[in-house]
Amino acid sequence: MIGKIKKGKSFGGCIRYVMGKDNAEIIGSDGVLLGNNREIADSFNCQCLLNPKIKQPVGHIALSFKPEDKPVLSNEFMAKIAMEYMDLMGIRNTQFILVRHHHTDNPHCHLVYNRIGYDGKVISSQGDYKRNEIATKRLKDKYGLTYAEDKGKTNVTKLHDSERIKYEIYHAVKQALKRARTWKELVVGLALQGIKLEFVGRGGKMKSAGDIQGIRLTKDGLTFKGSQISREFSFAKLNAILGGNSPDTGVDLEVKKQNQAPSNRNRKEQEPSNMAFIESNGLGLFSSFGESVPEEQIPYDELLRKRKKKKKRKGLGL
């Protein structure tokens, strides 16, 4: 059993999705007219008027079970589990519908609820991912439901793009970790597979490796936190796997460049004096470069042009 959490703005769109599947059936509800999709959406929207400041009133959670549990998952038993899940998640005193789908091998249902309760207060979503993890584990243990297999056995062809990419990143990191001994090797190994690894600093600022709070991984334009891919991929756990070596965040490289810049400028500043020294010795080493105007004449030419301009101005004044 797993729960996939989403929030949204439109009850109409969400209702059309959950009710639009073949053989979709409502197995539980509260405070909602069930005549048709329009009535369901209007019921939710009416309650939203109690707190119009909330921009995302739609709560949507898909509860999915393993095929092995299908024989025991009657509509009544699935609804019972979903109700207990709602209580563990703090989803109380509000409208909801529970819709079961039958179009996949995995038995699952969709919980659509109003984040604005009957009293007009908002049902907080703070910490809901952690609560979701705790709630599903507790219910699996309570009712003896099947735990999910290792991610390596998941059929990624049946997943939506974002979920598919998550699994692709998961496999790529696992593969790269077999050879990587440092952060640099891990970054390079993932880059070869089309994945960009970046470090995230506390408060968006990162002056040194000690400021690193986490990592993010990007593939095909989609970015995820390391912990969103797997709890194994938090910065702390990956850093332990890689021997606790301080990663090169890119900031250190920039500092090195800045420190080297003055020495480069010093070299450039020294070059004219060296050239003048060579020319003063009459070696003529630079004559072959085709320089038609010596540097010493340039200021004088500019001075002549200024004098001509002054003469013209005086002539106009007369």
Please report where in the chains the tokens 């659509």 appear, as a residue.
112
Q: State yes or no: pLDDT of 22 exceeds 60.
A: yes
Q: State yes or no: pLDDT of 308 exceeds 80.
A: no
What pLDDT score was predicted for residue 209? 73
SS3 52: coil
What pLDDT score was predicted for residue 149? 60
What pLDDT score was predicted for residue 159? 62
What pLDDT score was predicted for residue 215? 93
139 contact partners, CB below 8 Å, separation of at least 6? 1, 81, 84, 85, 88, 145
What pLDDT score was predicted for residue 298? 46
What residues pair up with 200 in beta bridges, in sequence order?
214
Supply the mean pLDDT for the chain: 81
What pLDDT score was predicted for residue 250? 54
96 and 30 Cβ atoms separated by less than 8 Å: yes
What pLDDT score was predicted for residue 101? 96
pLDDT winner (highest mean) among 104-108, 250-254, 312-316: 104-108
Other Cβ atoms less than 10 A from the Cβ of 273: the count is 9
Cα-based angle 259, 213, 192 (whole degrees, multiple of 5): 75
What domains sit in the chain, N to C, each tagged with a CATH number? 2-148 (3.30.930.30), 153-249 (no CATH), 252-317 (no CATH)
Of 111, 231, 126, give the one whose Cα is nearest residue 170. 231
Distances (CA, A) of 59 to 14, 112, 280: 9, 6, 83
What pLDDT score was predicted for residue 267? 46
pTM of the model: 0.54
User: Does 75 or 308 have the greater pLDDT score?
Assistant: 75
**How far apart are the C-alpha atoms of 267 and 246, rounded to whole Å?**
33
60 and 112 Cβ atoms separated by less than 8 Å: yes
- pLDDT tens digits for 204-251? 666 777 788 889 999 999 999 998 898 889 898 999 888 876 676 553
Among residues of the chain, what percentage have pLDDT more than 70? 72
| Predicted confidence band of residue 43 (pLDDT cuts 50, 70, 90) | very high
| Predicted confidence band of residue 144 (pLDDT cuts 50, 70, 90) | very high
Q: State yes or no: pLDDT of 269 exceeds 60.
A: no
Among 13-22, 50-59, 245-254, the range scoring the smallest mean pLDDT is 245-254
Q: 198: part of which helix (H) or strand (E)? A: strand 196-201
Of 300, 318, 4, give the one whose Cα is nearest residue 159. 4
Among residues of the chain, what percentage have pLDDT more than 90? 55
User: Does 93 or 255 have the greater pLDDT score?
Assistant: 93
User: Does 158 or 213 have the greater pLDDT score?
Assistant: 213
Structure tokens at 162: 């974002």
DSSP count for the chain of H helices, then E strands: 10, 8
What pLDDT score was predicted for residue 277? 37
45 and 122 Cβ atoms separated by less than 8 Å: no
**How far apart are the C-alpha atoms of 205 and 67, rounded to whole Å?**
46
What pLDDT score was predicted for residue 300? 53
| Sequential DSSP letters for 6-28 | EEES-HHHHHHHHHSSTT-EEEE
What pLDDT score was predicted for residue 249? 55
